[in-house]
């Protein structure tokens, strides 16, 4: 069963009101959503996920708490659009947990794992046609190398891309792992396991994870009521960089008017940082859940 990361820290920092409107942009298997729902009486929770399996599981889980929730089968990049369709223009709190749920990783058929043989897939939304197979078999050598270097910072990106192109067609995860290992020095393959970061890079490309995050965060800021809070948990340095930069831009006075005696409202900061340094999992949590080790929690409040 999936363990929600930094669960208590998120709930504490959302400052949940009994009658508030809250959004879980990454429902998954419902750990954070269940905790939020438990805090509400007349309030309501809206939760997004692309994965229908996760939605079906969480629907049953949350129904045991209350009926004050609405599940939305959509990518959170459509946050404003989908909420507006439901008559919601402002909310009191928003949560993003950008990690992958354990059942998704552990399900060999989904093709996320480099340790289990399966068809190349890695789609969060099974209705999406574009998959890992398309990235591995259709991208040019240069485009593959760029994906590996940009999203994995892999120093052997070019040799891995070159050998992938030579080995095509590649249809399974273990075929891909074999090519990756043959593309780097033996000692490097044994000690660094480059297949881990290459799979991560392909997954990010398939699901356009960084693009949608960059589009969704400004929407989330605009949706927050004054005093409303947003918690974002990242697991990857590139994700965290996007979050940190977005929060920095929106928490500072625009350079165009800095130093003026009177700052026009449209140039004033939209948010304030609740924590300047990210909150990390405790030693206890990391010992109990190894997948929490790279997690970072950043929190902002709308002003």
**So what's the pLDDT on residue 259?**
77
pLDDT over 80 (residue 209): yes
Encode pLDDT of 211-237 as tens digits. 999 999 999 999 999 999 999 999 999
Euclidean distance between CA atoms 179 and 177, whole angstroms: 5
Q: Final residue of a domain: which of 172, 207, 242?
A: 207
Q: Which two tokens stand for residue 36?
A: 């939020």
**So what's the pLDDT on residue 101?**
67
Residue 118 sits in the same domain as residue 70: no
Residue 81 sits in the same domain as residue 228: yes
pLDDT over 90 (residue 2): no
Q: For the whole prediction, is pTM greater than 0.75?
A: yes
**So what's the pLDDT on residue 15?**
97
Q: Final residue of a domain: which of 180, 207, 234?
A: 207
Classify 259 in phi/psi space as left (phi over 0), alpha (psi -120 to 50) or beta: left
Encode pLDDT of 135-194 as tens digits. 999 999 999 999 999 999 999 999 999 999 999 999 999 999 999 999 999 999 999 999
Residue 266 resides in a domain:
yes
Encode pLDDT of 52-79 as tens digits. 999 999 999 999 999 999 999 999 999 9
User: For the chain, how long is the longest CA-to-CA vector?
Assistant: 65
Domain residues for the domain of 115 are: 110-207
Residue 201 sits in the same domain as residue 240: no
CATH number assigned to the domain comprising residue 197: 1.10.150.170
Residue 186 sits in the same domain as residue 256: no
Percent of the chain with pLDDT over 90: 85
Query: Are 189 and 181 spatial neighbours (Cβ–Cβ below 8 Å)?
Result: yes
Euclidean distance between CA atoms 293 and 297, whole angstroms: 12
Residue 137 sits in the same domain as residue 185: yes
Q: Final residue of a domain: which of 189, 207, 225?
A: 207
Euclidean distance between CA atoms 139 and 157, whole angstroms: 14
Using pLDDT thresholds of 50, 70 and 90, give the confidence band for residue 114: confident
Give the N- to C-terminal CA distance of the chain in Å, as an integer.
38
Residue 105 resides in a domain:
no
Residue 102 resides in a domain:
no
């Amino acid at each position: 069963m999936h363990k929600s990361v930094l669960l208590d820290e998120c709930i504490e920092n959302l400052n949940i009101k009994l009658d508030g409107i809250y959004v879980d942009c990454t429902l998954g298997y419902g750990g954070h959503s269940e905790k939020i729902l438990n805090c509400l009486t007349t309030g309501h929770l809206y939760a997004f996920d692309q994965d229908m399996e996760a939605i079906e599981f969480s629907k049953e889980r949350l129904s045991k708490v209350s009926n004050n929730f609405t599940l939305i089968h959509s990518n959170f990049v459509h946050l404003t659009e989908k909420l507006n369709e439901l008559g919601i223009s402002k909310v009191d709190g928003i949560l993003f947990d950008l990690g992958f749920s354990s059942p998704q990783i552990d399900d060999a058929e989904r093709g996320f794992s480099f340790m289990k043989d399966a068809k190349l897939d890695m789609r969060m939304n099974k209705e999406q046609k574009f998959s890992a197979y398309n990235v591995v078999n259709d991208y040019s050598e240069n485009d593959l190398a760029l994906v590996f270097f940009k999203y994995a910072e892999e120093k052997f990106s070019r040799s891995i891309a070159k050998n992938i192109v030579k080995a095509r067609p590649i249809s399974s995860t273990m075929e891909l792992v074999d090519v990756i290992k043959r593309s780097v020095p033996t000692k490097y393959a044994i000690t660094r396991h480059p297949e881990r970061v290459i799979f991560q890079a392909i997954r990010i490309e398939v699901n356009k994870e960084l693009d949608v995050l960059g589009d969704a965060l400004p929407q989330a800021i605009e949706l927050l009521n004054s005093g409303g809070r947003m918690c974002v948990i990242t697991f990857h340095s590139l994700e965290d960089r996007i979050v940190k930069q977005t929060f920095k831009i929106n928490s500072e006075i625009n350079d165009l008017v800095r130093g003026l005696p009177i700052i026009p409202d449209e140039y004033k900061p939209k948010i304030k940082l609740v924590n300047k340094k990210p909150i990390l999992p405790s030693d206890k949590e990391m010992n109990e859940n190894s997948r929490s080790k790279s997690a970072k929690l950043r929190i902002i409040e709308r002003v």
